[in-house]
Amino acid sequence: MNNSSRDLNLIRQFVQTLKDTDIVELVWERPGIKLGVKKESQDFVIQPATAASSSAKEPSKPSLEQEDVSKTAPQDSGLTAVKSTMVGIFYRSTEKDGNPLVKERDLVKEGQPIAVVEAMKIFKEVRATRDGKIVQFLVESGQPVEYGQKLVLLKT
């Protein structure tokens, strides 16, 4: 009884401390106790699969799909979309089958390369437009993108 109420208190304090952070997942283990914490901002909802797969088949669709995403991700949530400055093929890494430059949840600095767009064998880096955390990639590696298409959501 005593132990468990103390544990409960500890957990409460723990959650309170985490309240104002961005932590998405944390696992804390001690003998006899394992605490897992996941925290996800609930103010935006994203459906990545539909946006990515339908636009791959039909280049006329992506703009519409992304409008939907931006609507569910209001400006005041601190989300910014990094857009493509050229028409081409979007890649997450600079080499074929290489490691992605960044992953979702990575923290990035303004100007940091986060992906590339290739056109006519020329690779152009997509750079983070501000400091922040990669929330989500809106297009899959190898997918064609148009000018101004939203590629990555950043949270600041």
CB of 63 to another protein, least distance (A): 7
Applying CB under 8 A, what is the total number of residues that bind another protein? 17
Q: Does 144 bind another protein (CB under 8 A)?
A: yes
Cα–Cα distance between 110 and 107 in angstroms, integer?
10
> C-alpha distances in angstroms, 136 versus 16, 118, 121?
27, 20, 26
Cα–Cα distance between 115 and 112 in angstroms, integer?
9
- Contacting another protein (CB under 8 A), which of 4, 5, 60, 75? 60
- Contacting another protein (CB under 8 A), which of 59, 78, 100, 113? 59
Please identify, among the stretches 7-15, 43-51, 101-109, 114-122, the one whose residues bind another protein according to the rule CB under 8 A. 114-122
Please identify, among the stretches 32-40, 96-104, 128-136, 147-155, the one whose residues bind another protein according to the rule CB under 8 A. 147-155
CB of 60 to another protein, least distance (A): 5
Asked if residue 138 lies in contact with residue 48, where contact means CB atoms within 8 angstroms, the answer is: yes
Q: Does 78 bind another protein (CB under 8 A)?
A: no
- Contacting another protein (CB under 8 A), which of 69, 88, 115, 132? 88
- Contacting another protein (CB under 8 A), which of 35, 86, 93, 113? 86
Residue ranges in contact with another protein by CB under 8 A: 58-60, 63, 86-89, 119-120, 122, 144-149
